[in-house]
């Protein structure tokens, strides 16, 4: 280290004299000291004030320039040296050196800039202002096709520099995307796929850029899918495959890229991984099985990619995914159920699957998870059943297969995601199925649970679905017994509150259910309707100009139905409904205007 002090003193003199030979000797000595103890040597360099002199040594025509850049690259490995490098004015001359024709100068300059940018806002900002990124991208483009080892090393350094420059910085990543870095990197990957270091660097760069929404369109216009799948097929090591997975996951969020990945044969690779790893208990294998099956489910979220893989229900992929459901592996059960839920996104697929026995497979799966079951599997299987129940022709088939009984086993679940899907499944199943709606509506345990969930203020989804199912039980059954069960369980007040929902569809469902209650069982529900302030709410809905036409229409239908109750009718008279209703006779919606005339007549006759 004494020797180092002498070198630094000597360097100060030679830096001014520009004696190339002695300058080179000093730089060699510095590089040797940095190789032995980088941190301590860097501290000495910073203390000596020599950094400021380096700026004047970074000149294209000097034979020592590459070594100066190398010293800067080495000291900038230390976090504490990055801002001093910026403050010493080194960025501008380094960026100028990017225009050099000398390969060694370019290599060391790329390293120096990359290290100064690493995790350093000041470093990145200075490189940005000096215009360094564009020059590096231009180099990548022009050197892209040359495959000799020295050039590949330079390309690797330049890729690393761009990564350090833009990592976790959205605006700099967006800048690189606008400069057209994506097609260049994809081309690099294709040409240099034999070079492990360069390939790895491209993958990390893709992983960073793919997180940005604006990158997806650019990626979709390249052959990235093909290149990644080709590379994936060659990989044997877990770590390398994991790197590719990290790029595939964000890219596969884009529907166009989903389809490209399917066409490039990614699905076959994923199925193979699942087959290889399914029985392994090694941590790496379990992780890879999860990643592969999750990615498989993600690919099915795109309409075109999903339909391509469904192949009319005859496809190999669809059949393989079906075989995951009865497996003993929770991750595969989950992925299988989620995949079915994704395949069940149009009527044709749903009808085919129900006709081919998928419902029984899902019910068996649910059965295995009733007691202390896996919540994610329960949620996924219920999601699949809910989607399958949407086509009208499937409802009766699923009801007779015993789906309601299978679903009701989860009524005691305390997990909101499971509760939410359970409610949605039942609501889909009873749509226009009077008998099933009546059977469920008379199930006191179910109705009491629904009333309880109508108060789940922490879980808006569960609360909304409970209200909607309560209303659906009345609307589809039109049964006095169902209404009595709901009145006895305290459900009326929730239906009245639902009429004030911010969602028109829910308001409407509530009003139709309340009108049926008033028509079929007004005496039983009278007290609860009074306590819930229904008449005041209806007055408010009719007076509010923002209320949708169907809300006004159904509110008036309900007013007429309530006149059969003395106490409720008195409330109607007290609130001067005539004024509000007569104004609606000139409403632009014909149905509303007609109903206003009818309602006005009723109010006038009965007064």
Q: Mean pLDDT over residues 494-504, rounded?
A: 95
User: What are 564's two structure tokens?
Assistant: 């059969």
Q: What confidence score (pLDDT) does residue 457 get? A: 83
Q: What confidence score (pLDDT) does residue 607 get? A: 56
C-alpha distances (whole Å) from 374 to each of 206, 262, 381, 413 are 35, 30, 11, 11
Q: For residues 425 and 374, what is the distance between their CA atoms, to the nearest angstrom?
A: 18
Strand extents, DSSP E, 305-449: none
Q: What confidence score (pLDDT) does residue 294 get? A: 93
| Secondary structure string (H, E, C) spanning 549-603 | HHHHHHHHHHHHHHCCCHHHHHHHHHCCHHHHHHHHHHCCCHHHHHHHHHHHHHH
CATH of 533-606, picked from 1.10.1240, 2.60.200, 3.40.50, 3.20.20, is: 1.10.1240
Q: What confidence score (pLDDT) does residue 17 get? A: 66
Which range among 232-236, 306-310, 342-346, 360-364 shows the weakest confidence by mean pLDDT? 232-236
Q: Please determine, for residue 3, whether its predicted confidence score (pLDDT) is greater than 90.
A: no
Q: Which of 435, 347, 450, 444 is nearest to 396 (CA)?
A: 435
Q: For residues 597 and 595, what is the distance between their CA atoms, to the nearest angstrom?
A: 5
Q: Please determine, for residue 1, whether its predicted confidence score (pLDDT) is greater than 60.
A: no
Q: Which of 470, 472, 465 is nearest to 493 (CA)?
A: 470
Whether 489 contacts 451, CB under 8 Å: yes
- pLDDT tens track for 191-209: 998 999 999 999 999 988 9
Q: For residues 576 and 561, what is the distance between their CA atoms, to the nearest angstrom?
A: 17
- pLDDT tens track for 78-101: 999 999 999 999 999 999 999 999
Q: Please determine, for residue 77, whether its predicted confidence score (pLDDT) is greater than 70.
A: yes
Q: Mean pLDDT over residues 338-347, rounded?
A: 95
pLDDT interval class at 212 (50, 70, 90):
confident
Domain 303-430 part of CATH 1.25.10.10: yes
SS3 332: helix
Q: Please determine, for residue 123, whether its predicted confidence score (pLDDT) is greater than 80.
A: yes
Other CB atoms closer than 10 Å to residue 354's CB: what's the count?
Answer: 21
Q: What confidence score (pLDDT) does residue 22 get? A: 79
Helices H, strands E: what count in the chain? 40, 0
pLDDT interval class at 237 (50, 70, 90):
confident
- pLDDT tens track for 578-589: 889 999 999 999
CA dihedral 569, 571, 573, 576 (to 10 degrees): -140
Q: Please determine, for residue 36, whether its predicted confidence score (pLDDT) is greater than 90.
A: yes
- pLDDT tens track for 256-268: 999 999 999 999 9
Q: What confidence score (pLDDT) does residue 93 get? A: 96
Q: How far is the first Cα of the chain from the last one, in angstroms, to the nearest whole number?
A: 108
Q: What percent of the chain has pLDDT over 90?
A: 79
Q: Fold identical between 1-130 and 303-430?
A: yes
Measured over the CA atoms of residue 419, residue 422, residue 428 and residue 433, the dihedral's sign is negative
- Residue that has been written with the tokens 């709410």 in this structure: 537
pLDDT interval class at 536 (50, 70, 90):
very high
pLDDT interval class at 158 (50, 70, 90):
very high
Which range among 21-30, 501-510, 513-522 shows the weakest confidence by mean pLDDT? 21-30
Which range among 217-221, 314-318, 361-365, 437-441 shows the weakest confidence by mean pLDDT? 314-318
CA dihedral 217, 222, 224, 230 (to 10 degrees): 160
**Would residue 432 be called left, alpha or beta, if left means φ above 0 and alpha means ψ between -120 and 50 degrees?**
left
Q: What confidence score (pLDDT) does residue 50 get? A: 86
Q: What confidence score (pLDDT) does residue 235 get? A: 83
Torsion angles phi and psi, residue 222, rounded to 5: -110, 180
Q: What confidence score (pLDDT) does residue 9 get? A: 82
Whether 562 contacts 535, CB under 8 Å: yes
- pLDDT tens track for 43-65: 999 988 889 889 988 988 888 99
- Residue that has been written with the tokens 């099956």 in this structure: 293
Q: DSSP class of residue 391?
A: S
Q: Is 430 exposed, middle or buried (0-12, 13-18, 19+ CB in 10 A)?
A: buried
Q: Which of 396, 320, 298 is nearest to 355 (CA)?
A: 396
User: Any residues with CB less than 8 A from the CB of 601 and at least 6 apart, and which?
Assistant: none
Can you give the residue ranges of every domain in the chain?
1-130, 151-264, 303-430, 433-522, 533-606
- pLDDT tens track for 386-428: 999 999 999 999 999 999 999 999 999 999 999 999 999 999 9
151-264 has which fold?
A: 1.25.10
Q: For residues 446 and 444, what is the distance between their CA atoms, to the nearest angstrom?
A: 5
Q: What angle, rounded to 10 degrees, do the helices at 444-453 and 416-430 form?
A: 130
CATH of span 1-130: 1.25.10.10
Q: Which of 258, 261, 262, 290 is nearest to 274 (CA)?
A: 290
Q: What percent of the chain has pLDDT over 70?
A: 98
**Would residue 180 be called left, alpha or beta, if left means φ above 0 and alpha means ψ between -120 and 50 degrees?**
left
User: What are 260's two structure tokens?
Assistant: 């490209």
Q: Please determine, for residue 16, whether its predicted confidence score (pLDDT) is greater than 90.
A: no
Residue 584 CA, distance from chain mean position: 46
Q: DSSP class of residue 413?
A: -
Whether 376 contacts 385, CB under 8 Å: no
pLDDT interval class at 606 (50, 70, 90):
low
User: What are 452's two structure tokens?
Assistant: 């309880």
Q: Mean pLDDT over residues 223-230, rounded?
A: 94
Mean pLDDT of the chain: 92
Torsion angles phi and psi, residue 510, rounded to 5: -65, -45
- pLDDT tens track for 285-335: 999 999 999 999 999 999 999 999 998 888 888 999 999 999 999 999 999
Q: For residues 452 and 97, what is the distance between their CA atoms, to the nearest angstrom?
A: 72
């Amino acid at each position: 280290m004494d020797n180092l002090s002498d070198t630094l003193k000597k360097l100060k003199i030679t830096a001014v004299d520009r004696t190339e030979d002695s300058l080179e000797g000093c730089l060699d000595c510095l590089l040797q000291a940095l190789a032995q103890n980088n941190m301590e040597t860097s501290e000495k360099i910073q203390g000596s004030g020599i950094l400021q002199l380096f700026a004047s040594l970074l000149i294209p025509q000097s034979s020592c320039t590459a070594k100066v850049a190398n010293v800067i690259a080495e000291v900038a490995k230390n976090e504490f040296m990055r801002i001093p490098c910026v403050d010493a004015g080194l960025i501008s001359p380094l960026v100028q050196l990017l225009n050099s024709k000398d390969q060694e100068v370019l290599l060391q300059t790329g390293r120096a800039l990359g290290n100064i940018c690493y995790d350093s806002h000041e470093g990145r900002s200075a490189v940005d202002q000096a215009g360094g990124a564009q020059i590096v991208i231009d180099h990548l483009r022009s050197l892209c096709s040359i495959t000799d080892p020295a050039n590949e090393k330079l390309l690797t350094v330049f890729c690393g520099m761009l990564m350090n420059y833009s990592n976790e910085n959205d605006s700099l990543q967006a800048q690189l995307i606008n400069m057209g870095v994506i097609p260049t990197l994809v081309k690099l990957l294709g040409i240099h796929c034999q070079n492990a270091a360069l390939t790895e660097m491209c993958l990390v760069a893709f992983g960073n850029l793919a997180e940005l929404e604006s990158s997806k369109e650019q990626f979709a216009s390249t052959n990235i899918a093909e290149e990644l799948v080709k590379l994936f097929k060659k990989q044997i090591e877990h770590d390398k495959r994991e790197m590719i997975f990290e790029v595939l996951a964000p890219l596969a969020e884009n529907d166009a890229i989903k389809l490209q990945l399917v066409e490039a044969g990614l699905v076959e690779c994923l199925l193979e991984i699942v087959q290889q790893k399914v029985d392994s208990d090694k941590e790496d294998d379990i992780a890879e099985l999860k990643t592969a099956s999750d990615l498989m489910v993600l690919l099915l979220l795109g309409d075109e990619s999903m339909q391509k893989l469904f192949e009319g229900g005859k496809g190999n992929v669809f059949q393989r995914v079906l075989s995951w459901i009865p497996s003993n592996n929770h991750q595969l059960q989950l992925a299988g159920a989620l995949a079915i839920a994704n395949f069940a996104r149009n009527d044709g697929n749903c009808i085919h699957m129900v006709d081919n026995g998928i419902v029984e497979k899902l019910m068996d799966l649910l059965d295995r998870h009733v007691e202390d079951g896996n919540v994610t599997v329960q949620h996924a299987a219920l999601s699949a059943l809910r989607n399958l129940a949407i086509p009208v022709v499937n409802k009766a088939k699923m009801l007779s297969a015993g789906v309601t009984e299978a679903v009701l086993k989860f009524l005691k679940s305390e997990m909101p995601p499971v509760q939410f899907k359970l409610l949605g499944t039942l609501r889909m199943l009873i749509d226009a199925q009077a008998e099933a709606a009546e059977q469920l509506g008379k199930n006191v345990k179910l109705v009491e649970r629904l009333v309880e969930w109508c108060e789940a203020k922490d879980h808006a989804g569960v609360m909304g679905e409970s209200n909607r199912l309560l209303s659906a039980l009345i609307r589809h059954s039109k049964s006095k017994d169902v209404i009595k069960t709901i009145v006895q369980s305290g459900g009326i007040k929730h239906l009245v509150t639902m009429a004030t929902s911010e969602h028109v569809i829910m308001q409407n469902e509530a009003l139709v259910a309340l009108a049926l209650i008033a028509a079929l069982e007004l005496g039983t529900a009278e007290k609860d309707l009074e306590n819930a302030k229904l008449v005041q709410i209806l007055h408010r809905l009719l007076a509010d100009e923002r209320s949708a036409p169907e809300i006004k229409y159904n509110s008036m239908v309900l007013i007429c139905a309530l006149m059969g109750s003395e106490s409720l009718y008195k409330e109607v008279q007290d609130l001067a409904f005539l004024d509000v209703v007569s104004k609606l006779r000139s409403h632009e919606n014909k149905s509303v205007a007609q109903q206003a005339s009818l309602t006005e007549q009723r109010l006038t006759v009965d007064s």
